[in-house]
Amino acid sequence: MTDQRGSLLWRAEARRGVLTFAKRSRLESGFGWLSDEGTIDSCRPPELWINARMTYVFSLAFLAGEGDCTEFAAHGVEALSTLFHDDDDNGWSAEGFFERAVSDGVRDGLPGICYTPDWAGKPVVAERFQWVMAEAILAADALAKATGEERYRGFADRWWQEVNTHFADPHDRQLASRIVTDNGGV
């Protein structure tokens, strides 16, 4: 990289490096798990959350000026519309997905949301990250708008309060990247 760490040029070069790595996740249909070396883990089946995230990443990259990411974003939309389509709910069960995330991620009245639960819903990663809160607030807000149900607005409002209380510095309102509770965040 040819410019000072954190500069616009540095960030653009770093983004291109991450995208080059991410593009290796493309499967015939959707996106797959990548190892640390950037190879597809063929022992793992395609996952909805990976495909949703990769579609989001490539869409944002296109908006940031990475024009070659359009085909990857479209590939993700195609997989979400076919491979992961839920015929019973005429699309995806966003409400069911949200309920499972809340059930697994919001625990014991602790602030923040668990980033990574295992299949049984037990937290694997102890830290609570602010970007997980941002994603949860956006999901709750989208569901409130789509369904008209106020309970989703309640989740979004509660989580905004948690961000302000536990992630934002009271003096300059800058957000910390994570919090760890007294018992390790679990």
Distances (CA, A) of 156 to 22, 114, 137, 138: 30, 16, 5, 8
Q: Among 86, 117, 140, where does a domain finish?
A: 86
Torsion angle of alpha carbons 132, 138, 143, 145, nearest 10°? Answer: 170
Contacts 24+ apart (CB under 8 A), 83-88: 83/29, 83/30, 83/46, 83/51, 84/30, 84/46, 84/48, 84/51
Which one, of 48, 44, 40, lies nearest residue 24 by Cα?
40
**In-domain check, residue 186:** no
Length of the chain: 186
- What is the residue whose two structure tokens read 């960030």? 11
Main-chain phi, psi angles of 144, to 5 degrees: -60, -45
Same domain, 141 and 123: yes
Domain end: 70, 86, 102, which one? 86
pLDDT digits (tens, 9 = 90+) for 133-167: 888 888 898 888 888 899 999 999 999 888 888 88
With a threshold of 0.75, does the pTM exceed it?
Answer: no
In degrees to the nearest 10, what's the CA dihedral of 161, 149, 132, 15? -120
Range of the domain at 15: 8-86
62 and 121 both lie in a single domain: no
HEC profile for 90-145?
CECCHHHHHHHHHHHHCCCCCCCCECCECCCCCECCCCEEHHHHHHHHHHHHHHHH
Per-residue model confidence as pLDDT tens digits over 19-72: 999 999 999 999 999 988 889 998 888 888 889 889 989 998 998 888 889 999
Same domain, 65 and 98: no
